Amino acid sequence: MLFFWRFSTTKSISYPAGIKIRITAILKEQPRFAGNIQKFNLAGIKVITWRYPEYRYGDRLTVVGIVKNNSLETPVIEKEERSEKPLQGKQ
């Protein structure tokens, strides 16, 4: 039963072609690279964008684009910068 739940939560979502969407999510996979592009799934939709800047597993991204064939091609992507503050210990 747990397997079915896991499978059902990882399915792609079907978005109507031509609509503009905005998704903010954490990248749950390492992007795949081919030539000058990178591809990855974000919140159930395929994102196809230029190779640079490179994104990686764990990045929090906001993606805005128009759906075409259940993917976003060359969308606008904003990456939330990670906080690099050191942990404060008790003194």
pLDDT digits (tens, 9 = 90+) for 51-83: 999 999 999 999 999 999 889 988 999 999 876
Name 38's Cβ contacts closer than 8 Å, sequence gap at least 6: 31, 32, 48, 49, 50, 51, 54, 55
pLDDT at 85: 59
Q: How far apart are CA 90 and CA 77, in angstroms?
A: 39
Q: Which two tokens stand for residue 56?
A: 């990686």
User: pTM here?
Assistant: 0.71
Q: How far apart are CA 69 and CA 7, in angstroms?
A: 22
